[in-house]
Amino acid sequence: MKYTTLKENPELYNNCVKLIENSFNYSKDNKFDVDFYPLMEPSNHQNNFLLLQDNNLIGHIGVLIKSFIIDEIEFKVPMFGGIAIDPSYRGKGYFKEFFNHTLDKFKGFAFNLLWSNKLELYEKFEFHPCIKQFEYNTKVLIDNPTFIKYKLKDLDNNQIKQLSYIYNQSKELRYKRSIQDWNNLKKITSSDIFIKENNNIISNYFFQNKGEDLNEVIYEYGHLSDIQEILGHGVLWSPFQYHEYIEYSSCLYASLLKICDINSFKEFVHLYTQKHIKIQNINDKKITFFFEKNQFELSIANFLEGIFGPNQFTELDFVMPILISGLDSI
């Protein structure tokens, strides 16, 4: 076996995309490298890891590094995606070695994230489902729609700056997103953006659809002041739970999380919980922590759900929920 990257072997790009699309049963009408452009763009090719056998491409694992900022401290977060192994080489232990090899490169971060419904598989690598995400499937009729559909690529620089301003005012903890990041997202031409304007100034927006992924799902929005109209366009994903007049249809997990550098993870949790939670110790199965001078011990899985949701500790209902947008998710 040989481990390499797309940066070292750019001639394998088309074969790599084909391998991923075949693994995820992509239709001919959609392209993985369009839906997930930030993961596959040339400047990230050093993080597109390849597995070769006899010079044949048999596996890919992509990593996109994003950042959360809490109290002006930046926490870089590697997200794993586009994970694919040629069907002819599955069940032979190749993936385990390949994935562990790739994980070793990113163990210096507070935690790693990925999304998959293969919970039993990734539990073997110490990934646990967490981060609450409510799905709202309430049918709402729109009498006078105020949101107009566009493609992000068709917006000018001034409009991008307005979107960026709204994004940065979010009530959720979101990934840091620069103007350059916004311009890169323009390459995800499979996504639709709906914009609301007042006097030619953007007051709100939301993203829906993403090619093969997230069909009819609204996975990012500026704010939810217009939630009634937003719900008229499709299924909404949000980490906010409404108790009064809107009922969620299900509560999902937004990601799988693997704790990596213990000290960095301790700091992240301490700041994220506004210093109410202080982790004392983490071992292979348990986390010992203090909450308001009282000591507790939980399994890692239960602790992660308690901090980030679902099943978040009621004592932490004041913390800013995490939103992982479908534009960033891989």
**DSSP code per residue over 103-149:** HGGGTTSSEEEE--S-HHHHHTTT-EEEEEEEEE------SS--EEE
What per-residue confidence (pLDDT) applies to 13? 98
Question: What share of the chain has pLDDT > 90, as a percent?
Answer: 91
Longest dimension (CA), the chain: 62
Mean model confidence pLDDT for the chain: 95
What per-residue confidence (pLDDT) applies to 247? 83
Q: Are strands 294-299 and 128-136 parallel, antiparallel or unpaired?
A: unpaired
DSSP 268: H
Asked if residue 310 has a cis previous peptide bond (ω within 30° of 0), the answer is yes
Q: Do 243 and 142 reside in the same domain of the chain?
A: yes
Q: Which of 80, 104, 127 is the last residue of a domain?
A: 127
**Residue 223 CB partners (closer than 8 Å, separation 6+):** 166, 169, 170, 171, 204
Q: Which of 206, 234, 251 is the last residue of a domain?
A: 251
Domain with 19 in it:
2-127
What per-residue confidence (pLDDT) applies to 138? 83
211-257 tens-digit pLDDT: 998 999 999 999 999 998 999 999 999 999 876 678 889 998 999 99
Compute the distance between CA of residue 326 and CA of residue 330 in angstroms, rounded to an integer.
8
Q: Do 163 and 61 reside in the same domain of the chain?
A: no
Compute the distance between CA of residue 70 and CA of residue 77 in angstroms, rounded to an integer.
13
138-155 tens-digit pLDDT: 877 888 889 999 999 999
Q: Do 86 and 144 reside in the same domain of the chain?
A: no
What confidence tier does 330 reach under pLDDT thresholds 50, 70, 90? confident
Q: What are the φ and ψ backbone dihedral angles of 68, each rounded to 5 degrees?
A: -105, 145
Coil vs helix vs strand at 198: strand
- 8, part of any domain: yes
Q: Do 97 and 202 reside in the same domain of the chain?
A: no
> Does residue 2 register a pLDDT over 90?
yes
Q: What average pLDDT score do residues 74-90 get?
A: 96
Q: Which residues pair with 48 in a beta bridge?
A: 62
- 329, part of any domain: no
Give me 289's structure tokens. Answer: 């922590």
Q: Do 11 and 104 reside in the same domain of the chain?
A: yes
**DSSP code per residue over 199-219:** TTEEEEEEEEEETTEEEEEEE
Q: Do 211 and 166 reside in the same domain of the chain?
A: yes
Are the CB atoms for 319 and 272 separated by under 8 Å? yes
Q: Which residues pair with 135 in a beta bridge?
A: 237, 250
pTM: 0.95
Name the residue with tokens 């071992």.
283
Torsion of CA 255, 212, 215, 43, to 10 degrees: 60
What per-residue confidence (pLDDT) applies to 243? 64
N residues, the chain: 330
Give the domain CATH number at 195. Answer: 3.40.630
Q: Which of 195, 224, 251 is the last residue of a domain?
A: 251
Q: Do 109 and 160 reside in the same domain of the chain?
A: no
Q: What average pLDDT score do residues 109-119 get?
A: 96
- 51, part of any domain: yes
What per-residue confidence (pLDDT) applies to 329? 84
Compute the distance between CA of residue 34 and CA of residue 37 in angstroms, rounded to an integer.
5
Q: Do 121 and 81 reside in the same domain of the chain?
A: yes
Q: What average pLDDT score do residues 64-81 get?
A: 98
Q: Do 10 and 123 reside in the same domain of the chain?
A: yes
Q: Do 241 and 289 reside in the same domain of the chain?
A: no
Q: Do 122 and 146 reside in the same domain of the chain?
A: no
What per-residue confidence (pLDDT) applies to 281? 97
Higher pLDDT, 38 or 252: 38
Number of domains comprising the chain:
3
What per-residue confidence (pLDDT) applies to 244? 64
What per-residue confidence (pLDDT) applies to 242? 77
C-alpha distances in Å from residue 252, one per residue of 82, 122, 249: 21, 17, 10
